[in-house]
A and B are shown apart, each in its own frame.
Chain A
Protein backbone atom coordinates (compact mmCIF):
# COMPACT_ATOMS: atom_id res chain seq x y z
CA UNK A 1 0.00 0.00 0.00
CA UNK A 2 0.96 3.69 -0.38
CA UNK A 3 3.49 2.84 -3.07
CA UNK A 4 2.83 6.13 -4.85
CA UNK A 5 4.44 7.99 -1.91
CA UNK A 6 7.87 6.49 -2.71
CA UNK A 7 9.44 7.95 -5.87
CA UNK A 8 12.22 5.33 -5.89
CA UNK A 9 9.65 2.57 -6.53
CA UNK A 10 9.18 4.01 -10.04
CA UNK A 11 12.53 2.40 -10.86
CA UNK A 12 10.88 -1.01 -10.96
CA UNK A 13 12.88 -2.55 -8.12
CA UNK A 14 11.51 -5.07 -5.68
CA UNK A 15 12.85 -3.83 -2.37
CA UNK A 16 13.01 -6.48 0.34
CA UNK A 17 15.85 -5.09 2.47
CA UNK A 18 13.75 -3.06 4.87
CA UNK A 19 15.45 -4.55 7.92
CA UNK A 20 18.63 -2.81 6.76
CA UNK A 21 17.02 0.48 5.78
CA UNK A 22 13.68 1.56 4.40
CA UNK A 23 12.83 3.66 1.37
CA UNK A 24 11.91 7.30 1.92
CA UNK A 25 8.57 8.86 1.05
CA UNK A 26 8.61 12.13 -0.85
CA UNK A 27 7.20 14.10 2.09
CA UNK A 28 10.28 13.25 4.18
CA UNK A 29 12.68 14.26 1.43
CA UNK A 30 10.70 17.47 0.84
CA UNK A 31 10.80 18.42 4.53
CA UNK A 32 14.58 18.02 4.56
CA UNK A 33 14.90 19.90 1.28
CA UNK A 34 12.91 22.78 2.71
CA UNK A 35 15.36 23.06 5.59
CA UNK A 36 18.28 23.23 3.17
CA UNK A 37 16.59 25.38 0.54
CA UNK A 38 14.39 27.68 2.60
CA UNK A 39 15.48 28.04 6.22
CA UNK A 40 19.01 26.70 6.81
CA UNK A 41 20.14 27.77 10.27
CA UNK A 42 21.52 26.32 13.45
CA UNK A 43 19.21 25.60 16.35
CA UNK A 44 18.92 27.34 19.72
CA UNK A 45 21.31 30.20 18.97
CA UNK A 46 19.87 32.46 16.30
CA UNK A 47 17.48 35.39 16.69
CA UNK A 48 16.61 35.60 13.01
CA UNK A 49 13.49 34.28 11.39
CA UNK A 50 15.03 31.22 9.69
CA UNK A 51 16.38 30.13 13.04
CA UNK A 52 13.03 30.42 14.70
CA UNK A 53 11.38 28.30 11.97
CA UNK A 54 14.10 25.67 12.39
CA UNK A 55 13.88 25.80 16.19
CA UNK A 56 10.20 25.24 16.30
CA UNK A 57 10.32 22.39 13.76
CA UNK A 58 13.23 20.73 15.59
CA UNK A 59 11.74 21.05 19.07
CA UNK A 60 8.38 19.76 17.93
CA UNK A 61 9.92 16.50 16.72
CA UNK A 62 10.54 15.56 20.35
CA UNK A 63 6.78 15.76 20.94
CA UNK A 64 6.07 13.76 17.80
CA UNK A 65 8.53 11.03 18.84
CA UNK A 66 7.19 10.93 22.40
CA UNK A 67 3.58 10.61 21.24
CA UNK A 68 4.53 7.88 18.82
CA UNK A 69 5.83 5.51 21.52
CA UNK A 70 3.97 6.92 24.54
CA UNK A 71 6.88 8.53 26.34
CA UNK A 72 7.68 11.91 27.89
CA UNK A 73 9.17 14.37 25.35
CA UNK A 74 11.78 15.44 27.93
CA UNK A 75 13.03 11.87 27.98
CA UNK A 76 13.60 11.64 24.20
CA UNK A 77 17.22 12.13 23.19
CA UNK A 78 18.24 12.48 19.56
CA UNK A 79 21.23 10.29 18.72
CA UNK A 80 22.90 9.15 15.52
CA UNK A 81 21.01 5.87 15.57
CA UNK A 82 20.29 2.73 17.56
CA UNK A 83 23.96 1.79 17.87
CA UNK A 84 24.83 5.13 19.45
CA UNK A 85 21.75 4.97 21.67
CA UNK A 86 22.72 1.58 23.10
CA UNK A 87 26.33 2.69 23.55
CA UNK A 88 25.05 5.67 25.53
CA UNK A 89 23.05 3.36 27.79
CA UNK A 90 25.95 0.99 28.36
CA UNK A 91 28.78 3.50 28.74
CA UNK A 92 26.77 6.43 30.12
CA UNK A 93 24.57 4.61 32.60
CA UNK A 94 25.60 0.97 33.12
CA UNK A 95 29.32 1.73 33.47
CA UNK A 96 28.45 4.03 36.35
CA UNK A 97 26.17 1.67 38.24
CA UNK A 98 27.09 -1.95 37.45
CA UNK A 99 29.79 -3.65 39.52
CA UNK A 100 32.03 -6.66 38.90
CA UNK A 101 29.94 -9.81 39.17
CA UNK A 102 26.64 -8.14 38.22
CA UNK A 103 24.89 -10.14 35.51
CA UNK A 104 23.45 -8.92 32.23
CA UNK A 105 21.16 -11.24 30.25
CA UNK A 106 21.55 -11.16 26.47
CA UNK A 107 20.87 -13.85 23.86
CA UNK A 108 22.73 -15.06 20.80
CA UNK A 109 20.23 -13.72 18.28
CA UNK A 110 21.08 -10.12 19.20
CA UNK A 111 22.61 -7.67 16.76
CA UNK A 112 26.26 -6.69 17.32
CA UNK A 113 25.12 -3.32 18.66
CA UNK A 114 23.49 -5.03 21.64
CA UNK A 115 26.41 -7.39 22.27
CA UNK A 116 29.71 -5.62 21.73
CA UNK A 117 29.12 -2.64 24.06
CA UNK A 118 28.36 -5.14 26.85
CA UNK A 119 31.44 -7.21 26.00
CA UNK A 120 33.56 -4.08 26.20
CA UNK A 121 32.01 -3.11 29.55
CA UNK A 122 32.56 -6.63 30.82
CA UNK A 123 36.23 -6.37 29.82
CA UNK A 124 36.51 -3.06 31.70
CA UNK A 125 34.52 -3.72 34.83
CA UNK A 126 33.98 -7.44 35.25
CA UNK A 127 30.23 -7.58 34.72
CA UNK A 128 29.10 -11.02 33.61
CA UNK A 129 27.22 -11.59 30.34
CA UNK A 130 24.87 -14.55 30.25
CA UNK A 131 23.14 -15.73 27.09
CA UNK A 132 19.53 -16.86 27.48
CA UNK A 133 19.03 -20.00 25.35
CA UNK A 134 16.63 -19.68 22.43
CA UNK A 135 13.64 -21.96 21.89
CA UNK A 136 13.56 -24.69 19.24
CA UNK A 137 12.25 -22.16 16.72
CA UNK A 138 15.07 -19.74 17.71
CA UNK A 139 12.71 -17.40 19.53
CA UNK A 140 13.28 -15.86 22.96
CA UNK A 141 10.71 -16.56 25.68
CA UNK A 142 10.10 -15.16 29.15
CA UNK A 143 10.27 -18.72 30.54
CA UNK A 144 13.83 -19.13 29.30
CA UNK A 145 14.73 -15.69 30.60
CA UNK A 146 13.38 -16.57 34.06
CA UNK A 147 15.54 -19.70 34.16
CA UNK A 148 18.66 -17.57 33.76
CA UNK A 149 17.83 -14.93 36.35
CA UNK A 150 19.77 -15.03 39.62
CA UNK A 151 20.01 -12.55 42.47
CA UNK A 152 22.94 -11.02 40.57
CA UNK A 153 20.88 -10.26 37.45
CA UNK A 154 20.79 -6.49 37.05
CA UNK A 155 19.89 -5.99 33.38
CA UNK A 156 17.90 -7.73 30.65
CA UNK A 157 18.80 -6.33 27.25
CA UNK A 158 17.11 -7.52 24.07
CA UNK A 159 15.75 -6.56 20.69
CA UNK A 160 11.96 -6.25 20.66
CA UNK A 161 12.06 -7.96 17.25
CA UNK A 162 15.23 -9.87 16.37
CA UNK A 163 16.68 -8.92 13.03
CA UNK A 164 17.29 -12.40 11.56
CA UNK A 165 14.59 -14.60 13.09
CA UNK A 166 12.07 -11.79 13.40
CA UNK A 167 10.42 -13.19 16.51
CA UNK A 168 8.43 -10.56 18.38
CA UNK A 169 9.47 -10.76 22.01
CA UNK A 170 6.74 -10.29 24.60
CA UNK A 171 8.17 -7.08 26.02
CA UNK A 172 5.07 -6.30 28.01
CA UNK A 173 5.41 -9.47 30.12
CA UNK A 174 9.19 -9.20 30.25
CA UNK A 175 8.93 -5.56 31.32
CA UNK A 176 6.47 -6.47 34.07
CA UNK A 177 8.79 -9.23 35.24
CA UNK A 178 11.74 -6.79 35.28
CA UNK A 179 9.75 -4.31 37.35
CA UNK A 180 8.77 -6.97 39.89
CA UNK A 181 12.33 -8.21 40.18
CA UNK A 182 14.12 -4.89 40.18
CA UNK A 183 15.94 -5.58 36.91
CA UNK A 184 16.73 -2.86 34.36
CA UNK A 185 15.06 -3.44 31.00
CA UNK A 186 16.92 -2.23 27.89
CA UNK A 187 15.05 -2.62 24.59
CA UNK A 188 16.47 -2.33 21.07
CA UNK A 189 13.46 -1.21 19.05
CA UNK A 190 15.23 -0.84 15.70
CA UNK A 191 13.18 -3.60 14.05
CA UNK A 192 9.94 -3.05 15.96
CA UNK A 193 9.20 0.67 16.31
CA UNK A 194 8.91 1.05 12.49
CA UNK A 195 6.57 -1.91 12.14
CA UNK A 196 4.28 -2.31 15.16
CA UNK A 197 2.86 -0.01 17.84
CA UNK A 198 5.29 0.23 20.78
CA UNK A 199 4.32 1.61 24.19
CA UNK A 200 7.30 2.73 26.27
CA UNK A 201 5.37 3.31 29.48
CA UNK A 202 3.02 0.35 29.33
CA UNK A 203 5.92 -2.08 28.81
CA UNK A 204 7.92 -0.66 31.72
CA UNK A 205 10.92 -0.12 29.46
CA UNK A 206 13.87 1.58 31.12
CA UNK A 207 15.73 2.41 27.91
CA UNK A 208 14.40 2.20 24.34
CA UNK A 209 16.50 2.78 21.22
CA UNK A 210 15.56 3.05 17.56
CA UNK A 211 16.77 4.47 14.23
CA UNK A 212 15.16 6.96 11.87
CA UNK A 213 16.29 5.35 8.64
CA UNK A 214 14.52 2.06 9.33
CA UNK A 215 11.18 3.89 9.64
CA UNK A 216 11.01 5.93 6.42
CA UNK A 217 13.27 8.62 7.87
CA UNK A 218 16.79 9.70 6.98
CA UNK A 219 20.07 8.07 8.01
CA UNK A 220 22.14 9.68 10.75
CA UNK A 221 19.40 10.17 13.31
CA UNK A 222 17.98 7.91 15.98
CA UNK A 223 16.40 8.11 19.37
CA UNK A 224 17.15 7.04 22.91
CA UNK A 225 14.28 7.19 25.37
CA UNK A 226 14.88 6.55 29.04
CA UNK A 227 13.00 6.78 32.29
CA UNK A 228 13.43 10.25 33.70
CA UNK A 229 15.23 9.23 36.92
CA UNK A 230 17.69 7.07 34.97
CA UNK A 231 18.48 9.80 32.46
CA UNK A 232 19.12 12.22 35.33
CA UNK A 233 21.88 9.89 36.52
CA UNK A 234 23.22 8.95 33.10
CA UNK A 235 26.53 10.55 32.05
CA UNK A 236 26.90 12.13 28.60
CA UNK A 237 29.51 10.50 26.35
CA UNK A 238 30.03 13.75 24.45
CA UNK A 239 30.90 17.17 25.87
CA UNK A 240 30.85 20.52 24.11
CA UNK A 241 28.57 23.26 22.92
CA UNK A 242 24.88 23.37 23.60
CA UNK A 243 24.92 20.95 26.53
CA UNK A 244 26.57 23.09 29.22
CA UNK A 245 25.19 25.89 31.43
CA UNK A 246 28.59 27.36 32.23
CA UNK A 247 32.30 26.59 32.58
CA UNK A 248 35.10 28.58 34.20
CA UNK A 249 38.87 28.61 34.44
CA UNK A 250 38.63 26.87 37.80
CA UNK A 251 37.44 23.85 35.81
CA UNK A 252 34.03 24.24 37.33
CA UNK A 253 31.22 23.52 34.94
CA UNK A 254 27.56 22.67 34.97
CA UNK A 255 25.60 20.73 32.42
CA UNK A 256 22.15 21.55 31.15
CA UNK A 257 19.23 19.33 32.05
CA UNK A 258 17.93 16.20 30.29
CA UNK A 259 17.70 15.77 27.31
CA UNK A 260 19.90 18.73 26.25
CA UNK A 261 22.94 17.52 28.19
CA UNK A 262 23.09 14.49 25.90
CA UNK A 263 23.07 16.48 22.65
CA UNK A 264 26.47 18.18 22.45
CA UNK A 265 27.37 20.01 19.27
CA UNK A 266 25.19 20.78 16.28
CA UNK A 267 22.76 17.89 15.92
CA UNK A 268 21.67 16.44 12.56
CA UNK A 269 18.99 19.13 12.15
CA UNK A 270 17.69 18.20 8.71
CA UNK A 271 17.59 14.57 9.76
CA UNK A 272 15.66 15.26 12.95
CA UNK A 273 13.14 17.26 10.90
CA UNK A 274 13.01 14.35 8.43
CA UNK A 275 12.42 11.91 11.27
CA UNK A 276 9.52 14.01 12.54
CA UNK A 277 8.00 14.04 9.07
CA UNK A 278 8.50 10.26 8.77
CA UNK A 279 6.63 9.64 12.02
CA UNK A 280 3.82 11.95 10.97
CA UNK A 281 3.67 9.99 7.73
CA UNK A 282 3.60 6.61 9.54
CA UNK A 283 0.78 7.92 11.73
CA UNK A 284 -1.19 8.85 8.63
CA UNK A 285 -0.71 5.35 7.21
CA UNK A 286 -1.52 3.94 10.67
CA UNK A 287 0.70 1.67 12.75
CA UNK A 288 -2.10 -0.83 13.40
CA UNK A 289 -2.76 -0.90 9.68
CA UNK A 290 0.95 -1.43 8.93
CA UNK A 291 1.21 -4.29 11.43
CA UNK A 292 -1.88 -6.02 10.04
CA UNK A 293 -0.81 -5.54 6.42
CA UNK A 294 2.70 -6.92 7.00
CA UNK A 295 1.36 -9.92 8.87
CA UNK A 296 -0.92 -10.81 5.96
CA UNK A 297 1.86 -10.25 3.46
CA UNK A 298 4.23 -12.48 5.41
CA UNK A 299 1.60 -15.24 5.48
CA UNK A 300 1.24 -14.88 1.70
CA UNK A 301 5.03 -15.03 1.29
CA UNK A 302 5.33 -18.20 3.37
CA UNK A 303 2.43 -19.81 1.60
CA UNK A 304 3.99 -19.16 -1.81
CA UNK A 305 7.54 -20.11 -0.81
CA UNK A 306 6.56 -23.35 0.89
CA UNK A 307 5.87 -24.84 -2.53
CA UNK A 308 9.50 -24.51 -3.57
CA UNK A 309 11.30 -27.72 -2.71
CA UNK A 310 14.92 -26.59 -2.67
CA UNK A 311 14.27 -23.77 -0.20
CA UNK A 312 15.15 -24.00 3.49
CA UNK A 313 13.13 -21.53 5.58
CA UNK A 314 14.38 -20.91 9.12
CA UNK A 315 11.67 -18.83 10.74
CA UNK A 316 8.26 -19.36 9.23
CA UNK A 317 6.63 -19.16 12.65
CA UNK A 318 7.89 -15.70 13.55
CA UNK A 319 5.31 -12.91 13.62
CA UNK A 320 7.20 -10.07 11.95
CA UNK A 321 7.81 -9.35 8.28
CA UNK A 322 11.30 -10.90 8.39
CA UNK A 323 12.00 -14.16 6.60
CA UNK A 324 15.36 -15.94 6.53
CA UNK A 325 16.09 -18.76 4.11
CA UNK A 326 18.67 -20.43 1.94
CA UNK A 327 18.50 -22.11 -1.43
CA UNK A 328 19.74 -25.64 -0.74
CA UNK A 329 23.42 -25.94 -1.68
CA UNK A 330 23.80 -22.27 -2.62
CA UNK A 331 25.84 -19.79 -0.58
CA UNK A 332 23.58 -16.94 0.51
CA UNK A 333 25.60 -14.28 -1.27
CA UNK A 334 25.32 -16.15 -4.56
CA UNK A 335 21.57 -16.28 -4.01
CA UNK A 336 21.36 -12.52 -3.42
CA UNK A 337 23.49 -11.81 -6.50
CA UNK A 338 21.11 -14.03 -8.45
CA UNK A 339 18.06 -12.14 -7.17
CA UNK A 340 19.72 -8.82 -7.96
CA UNK A 341 19.81 -9.91 -11.56
CA UNK A 342 16.01 -9.58 -11.50
CA UNK A 343 16.09 -6.27 -9.59
CA UNK A 344 15.12 -7.97 -6.34
CA UNK A 345 16.98 -6.46 -3.38
CA UNK A 346 17.60 -8.76 -0.43
CA UNK A 347 20.38 -9.13 2.10
CA UNK A 348 22.76 -12.06 2.47
CA UNK A 349 24.98 -12.84 5.40
CA UNK A 350 24.89 -13.13 9.16
CA UNK A 351 23.05 -9.79 9.49
CA UNK A 352 25.39 -8.69 12.30
CA UNK A 353 24.06 -11.48 14.54
CA UNK A 354 27.31 -13.40 14.45
CA UNK A 355 26.58 -15.66 17.41
CA UNK A 356 23.25 -16.90 16.10
CA UNK A 357 25.19 -19.61 14.21
CA UNK A 358 25.74 -21.36 17.58
CA UNK A 359 21.99 -21.86 17.87
CA UNK A 360 21.08 -22.40 14.21
CA UNK A 361 24.13 -24.31 12.97
CA UNK A 362 24.11 -22.09 9.91
CA UNK A 363 26.22 -18.99 9.52
CA UNK A 364 24.62 -17.12 6.67
CA UNK A 365 21.13 -16.68 5.31
CA UNK A 366 19.20 -14.71 2.72
CA UNK A 367 16.87 -12.28 4.45
CA UNK A 368 13.67 -10.85 3.05
CA UNK A 369 12.31 -8.06 5.25
CA UNK A 370 8.97 -6.57 4.30
CA UNK A 371 7.41 -3.15 4.73
CA UNK A 372 3.98 -1.78 3.96
CA UNK A 373 4.89 -0.65 0.43
CA UNK A 374 5.70 -4.22 -0.59
CA UNK A 375 2.83 -6.03 -2.24
CA UNK A 376 1.79 -9.43 -3.51
CA UNK A 377 3.22 -8.69 -6.96
CA UNK A 378 6.65 -8.19 -5.34
CA UNK A 379 6.31 -11.57 -3.70
CA UNK A 380 5.11 -13.26 -6.87
CA UNK A 381 8.22 -11.95 -8.66
CA UNK A 382 10.46 -13.34 -5.94
CA UNK A 383 8.69 -16.68 -5.97
CA UNK A 384 8.92 -17.02 -9.75
CA UNK A 385 12.62 -16.25 -9.74
CA UNK A 386 13.29 -18.66 -6.88
CA UNK A 387 11.30 -21.37 -8.63
CA UNK A 388 13.67 -21.24 -11.58
CA UNK A 389 16.80 -21.10 -9.42
CA UNK A 390 18.08 -24.40 -10.82
CA UNK A 391 19.94 -22.32 -13.41
CA UNK A 392 21.32 -20.02 -10.73
CA UNK A 393 24.97 -20.40 -11.73
CA UNK A 394 24.23 -19.61 -15.37
CA UNK A 395 23.06 -16.25 -14.07
CA UNK A 396 25.51 -15.64 -11.24
CA UNK A 397 28.73 -16.68 -13.03
Chain B
Protein backbone atom coordinates (compact mmCIF):
# COMPACT_ATOMS: atom_id res chain seq x y z
CA UNK B 1 0.00 0.00 0.00
CA UNK B 2 1.17 3.51 -0.81
CA UNK B 3 2.65 5.02 2.35
CA UNK B 4 1.13 8.45 1.80
CA UNK B 5 -2.34 7.01 1.27
CA UNK B 6 -1.97 4.82 4.36
CA UNK B 7 -0.93 7.82 6.46
CA UNK B 8 -3.73 9.95 5.05
CA UNK B 9 -6.40 7.39 5.91
CA UNK B 10 -5.08 6.92 9.44
CA UNK B 11 -4.66 10.64 10.03
CA UNK B 12 -8.14 11.49 8.68
CA UNK B 13 -9.68 8.95 11.01
CA UNK B 14 -7.61 10.22 13.93
CA UNK B 15 -8.37 13.90 13.40
CA UNK B 16 -12.03 13.39 12.56
CA UNK B 17 -13.02 10.01 13.91
CA UNK B 18 -16.27 8.43 12.85
CA UNK B 19 -18.98 8.16 15.51
CA UNK B 20 -16.83 9.63 18.30
CA UNK B 21 -18.95 10.74 21.23
CA UNK B 22 -21.34 8.59 23.23
CA UNK B 23 -25.11 8.97 23.48
CA UNK B 24 -27.32 8.20 26.43
CA UNK B 25 -29.54 5.40 25.16
CA UNK B 26 -30.14 2.21 27.10
CA UNK B 27 -30.74 0.13 23.98
CA UNK B 28 -26.93 0.24 23.61
CA UNK B 29 -24.48 -2.00 25.44
CA UNK B 30 -21.42 -0.27 26.86
CA UNK B 31 -17.88 -1.46 27.59
CA UNK B 32 -14.65 0.22 28.59
CA UNK B 33 -11.25 -0.78 27.31
CA UNK B 34 -8.90 0.59 29.86
CA UNK B 35 -6.04 -1.16 28.18
CA UNK B 36 -3.83 -3.20 30.45
CA UNK B 37 -0.80 -2.74 28.27
CA UNK B 38 -0.98 0.95 27.45
CA UNK B 39 -2.59 4.19 28.45
CA UNK B 40 -5.46 4.31 25.97
CA UNK B 41 -8.80 4.52 27.64
CA UNK B 42 -11.83 4.24 25.34
CA UNK B 43 -15.51 3.57 25.95
CA UNK B 44 -17.56 1.81 23.30
CA UNK B 45 -21.32 1.44 22.93
CA UNK B 46 -23.08 -0.81 20.46
CA UNK B 47 -26.65 -1.44 19.38
CA UNK B 48 -27.74 -4.67 17.73
CA UNK B 49 -31.20 -5.42 16.34
CA UNK B 50 -32.26 -8.70 14.73
CA UNK B 51 -28.69 -9.90 14.52
CA UNK B 52 -27.58 -6.75 12.67
CA UNK B 53 -25.10 -4.25 14.13
CA UNK B 54 -27.12 -1.05 13.96
CA UNK B 55 -24.66 1.34 15.53
CA UNK B 56 -21.33 1.57 17.35
CA UNK B 57 -19.95 4.70 18.97
CA UNK B 58 -16.83 5.39 21.03
CA UNK B 59 -15.21 8.06 23.12
CA UNK B 60 -12.15 8.66 25.29
CA UNK B 61 -8.47 9.48 25.12
CA UNK B 62 -6.18 7.40 22.98
CA UNK B 63 -3.28 7.50 20.57
CA UNK B 64 -3.48 8.00 16.81
CA UNK B 65 -3.45 4.27 16.09
CA UNK B 66 -6.16 3.29 18.61
CA UNK B 67 -8.40 6.19 17.70
CA UNK B 68 -8.13 5.75 13.95
CA UNK B 69 -8.51 1.97 14.19
CA UNK B 70 -11.66 2.44 16.25
CA UNK B 71 -13.06 4.84 13.69
CA UNK B 72 -12.30 2.60 10.71
CA UNK B 73 -13.49 -0.56 12.45
CA UNK B 74 -16.76 1.00 13.52
CA UNK B 75 -17.46 2.11 9.98
CA UNK B 76 -16.72 -1.34 8.63
CA UNK B 77 -18.95 -3.15 11.14
CA UNK B 78 -22.11 -1.05 11.14
CA UNK B 79 -24.84 -2.70 9.07
CA UNK B 80 -23.16 -6.13 9.20
CA UNK B 81 -24.65 -9.35 10.54
CA UNK B 82 -23.01 -10.47 13.78
CA UNK B 83 -21.51 -13.54 12.05
CA UNK B 84 -19.98 -11.32 9.35
CA UNK B 85 -18.63 -9.03 12.04
CA UNK B 86 -16.93 -11.99 13.69
CA UNK B 87 -15.38 -12.88 10.36
CA UNK B 88 -13.99 -9.36 9.95
CA UNK B 89 -12.68 -9.33 13.51
CA UNK B 90 -10.93 -12.67 13.22
CA UNK B 91 -9.25 -11.73 9.93
CA UNK B 92 -8.25 -8.37 11.39
CA UNK B 93 -6.74 -10.06 14.42
CA UNK B 94 -4.80 -12.46 12.19
CA UNK B 95 -3.49 -9.59 10.12
CA UNK B 96 -2.25 -7.69 13.15
CA UNK B 97 -0.65 -10.85 14.54
CA UNK B 98 1.02 -11.65 11.20
CA UNK B 99 -1.01 -14.77 10.60
CA UNK B 100 -2.92 -15.77 7.46
CA UNK B 101 -5.91 -13.58 6.70
CA UNK B 102 -8.44 -12.74 4.01
CA UNK B 103 -7.82 -9.13 3.00
CA UNK B 104 -11.01 -8.96 0.93
CA UNK B 105 -13.22 -8.57 4.00
CA UNK B 106 -11.12 -5.90 5.72
CA UNK B 107 -11.69 -2.78 3.60
CA UNK B 108 -9.76 0.21 4.94
CA UNK B 109 -8.65 -1.77 8.00
CA UNK B 110 -5.90 -3.01 5.70
CA UNK B 111 -3.97 0.19 6.52
CA UNK B 112 -2.72 -1.57 9.66
CA UNK B 113 -1.20 -4.53 7.79
CA UNK B 114 2.32 -3.46 8.70
CA UNK B 115 1.73 -2.47 12.30
CA UNK B 116 3.59 -5.56 13.52
CA UNK B 117 6.78 -3.76 12.50
CA UNK B 118 6.16 -1.66 15.62
CA UNK B 119 5.32 -4.41 18.13
CA UNK B 120 4.47 -1.97 20.93
CA UNK B 121 1.68 -0.57 18.77
CA UNK B 122 -0.05 -3.87 18.00
CA UNK B 123 -2.15 -3.49 21.12
CA UNK B 124 -3.19 -0.01 20.01
CA UNK B 125 -4.51 -1.43 16.75
CA UNK B 126 -6.23 -4.27 18.61
CA UNK B 127 -7.97 -2.03 21.13
CA UNK B 128 -11.27 -1.57 19.22
CA UNK B 129 -11.31 -5.29 18.47
CA UNK B 130 -11.07 -6.10 22.16
CA UNK B 131 -13.93 -3.71 22.85
CA UNK B 132 -16.22 -5.06 20.16
CA UNK B 133 -15.48 -8.67 21.11
CA UNK B 134 -16.27 -7.82 24.72
CA UNK B 135 -19.67 -6.43 23.77
CA UNK B 136 -20.52 -9.35 21.51
CA UNK B 137 -19.59 -11.78 24.28
CA UNK B 138 -21.80 -9.90 26.69
CA UNK B 139 -24.67 -10.11 24.19
CA UNK B 140 -24.29 -13.85 23.79
CA UNK B 141 -24.25 -14.27 27.58
CA UNK B 142 -27.38 -12.12 27.86
CA UNK B 143 -29.17 -14.28 25.30
CA UNK B 144 -28.52 -17.46 27.24
Contacts and interface: CB of A to CB of B under 8 A. Distances in A.
Given A393-B11, A397-B7, A348 B64 contact: no
A363 B124 CA distance: 18
B62 interface: yes
A358 interface: no
B137 interface: no
A351 to B, nearest CB: 10
Contact of A397 (B6, B38, B39, B40): B6
A389 B27 CA distance: 43
Contact of A364 (B7, B10, B61, B124): B61
Contact-size category for A: 10 to 19
B64 A393 contact: yes
Given A363-B61, A393-B64, A397-B6, A332 B39 contact: yes
A349 B37 CA distance: 11
A333 B11 contact: no
A366 B134 CA distance: 30
A331 B61 contact: yes
Interface residues of B, number: 19
B64 A396 contact: yes
Interface in B32-79: 38-41, 61-65, 67
Contact of B64 (A331, A349, A364): A331
Interface in A299-341: 331-334, 337
B39 A364 contact: yes
Interface string B4-17: 00110011001000
B61 A397 contact: no
Contact of A337 (B11, B40, B61, B121): B121
A60 B11 CA distance: 58
A393 B63 CA distance: 11
A331 B62 contact: yes
A77 B11 CA distance: 52
A289 interface: no
Interface string A359-380: 0000110000000000000000
Contacts of A331: 61-64, 67
A248 to B, nearest CB: 46
A326 to B, nearest CB: 11
Contact of B41 (A334, A348, A363, A396): A363
A61 B10 CA distance: 54
Given A364-B61, A397-B6, 12 more contacts: A331-B63, A331-B64, A332-B39, A333-B63, A334-B63, A337-B63, A337-B118, A349-B38, A350-B39, A393-B7, A397-B7, A397-B11
10 contacts: A331-B63, A331-B67, A333-B40, A333-B63, A334-B63, A337-B121, A348-B39, A363-B61, A364-B61, A393-B64
